[in-house]
């Protein structure tokens, strides 16, 4: 009995150390530090355990897979409070991408708006991290504009409302957030639609927080060609107007 107890104790300690190693490897300490420094961080963003995510996806059963993407697998899950969520399980994260990954979590933790996809949870204590989002069932606006099978299901009035909701969300990101946020890649593939076709801005991987005392920030050009602000391309100076330009570009092309 003593030998068995010692064996399980040692095994448990090794597991704890391994989890700590993965947590640090996936940027957990950086995330904790940045979130603690952000007074406006949403209390809904949590660091959850593997056990909770396993239950939500029935141990990542194949029947729960929603799709495969470049970074990994997307699962449909149901939390203990019966909320339906989307769980993104990464294949791997390159060390050079950790900063961008943590940046996304920090930025999403600042936002609590009905027209922005909400990050509910993150889990960093495995070899690859997981992110848990609100489930948005009707896919991207792009699919409803360009796929003939979907285009007829959305009325012109609904498309107009989606455009208005997107501008309201952008205004909130730019002006109402505690620290202004520039999305940096506004386009129809990054606008998701829920069951009532309410717009939800998504994909904040390249977004940036803007210090309150600055109108613009100098950054290497990132985003989608064709939607990028020419002034940003020429000067590397990113401003809120860059998002406005991207919005105007996809709206004029789409409609």
C-alpha to C-alpha distance for 40 and 28, rounded to whole angstroms: 19
> Would you call 119 exposed, middle or buried from its count of C-beta atoms within 10 A (0-12, 13-18, 19+)?
buried
Task: State the catalytic residue, choosing from 61, 81, 94, 185.
Answer: 185
Whether residue 229 lies in the annotated active site: no
Q: 171-175 — which CB contacts under 8 Å span 24+ positions?
A: 172/111, 172/113, 172/115, 172/116, 173/111, 173/113, 173/116, 173/201, 173/243, 174/240, 174/243
Please report which helix (H) or strand (E) contains residue 88, including its range: strand 84-90
CA distances to 45, 159, 160, 226 from 155, rounded to whole Å, are 34, 6, 9, 26
What is the phi/psi pair of residue 214, to 5°?
-125, 140
Catalytic residues: 185
């Amino acid at each position: 009995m003593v030998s068995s107890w010692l064996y399980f104790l040692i095994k448990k300690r090794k597991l704890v150390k391994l989890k700590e190693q993965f947590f640090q490897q996936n940027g957990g300490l950086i995330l904790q530090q940045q979130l603690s420094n952000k007074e406006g961080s949403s209390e809904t963003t949590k660091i959850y355990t593997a056990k909770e995510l396993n239950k939500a996806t029935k141990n990542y059963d194949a029947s729960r897979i929603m799709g495969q993407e470049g970074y990994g697998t997307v699962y449909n899950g149901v939390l203990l409070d019966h909320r339906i969520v989307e769980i993104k399980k990464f294949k791997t994260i390159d060390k050079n991408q950790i900063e961008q990954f943590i940046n996304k979590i920090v930025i999403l933790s600042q936002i609590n708006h009905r027209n922005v996809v909400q990050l509910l949870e993150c889990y960093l204590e495995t070899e690859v991290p997981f992110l848990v989002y609100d489930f948005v069932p009707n896919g991207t606006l792009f699919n409803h504009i360009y796929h003939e099978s979907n285009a007829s299901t959305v009325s012109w009035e609904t498309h107009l409302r989606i455009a208005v909701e997107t501008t309201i969300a952008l205004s909130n990101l730019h002006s109402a957030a505690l620290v202004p946020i520039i999305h940096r890649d506004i386009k129809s593939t990054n606008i998701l639609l829920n069951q009532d076709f309410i717009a939800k801005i998504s994909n904040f991987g390249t977004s940036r927080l803007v210090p309150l005392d600055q109108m613009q920030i100098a950054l290497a050009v990132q985003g989608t060609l064709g939607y990028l602000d020419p002034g940003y391309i020429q000067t590397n100076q990113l401003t809120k107007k860059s998002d406005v330009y991207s919005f105007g570009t996809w709206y004029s092309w789409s409609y």
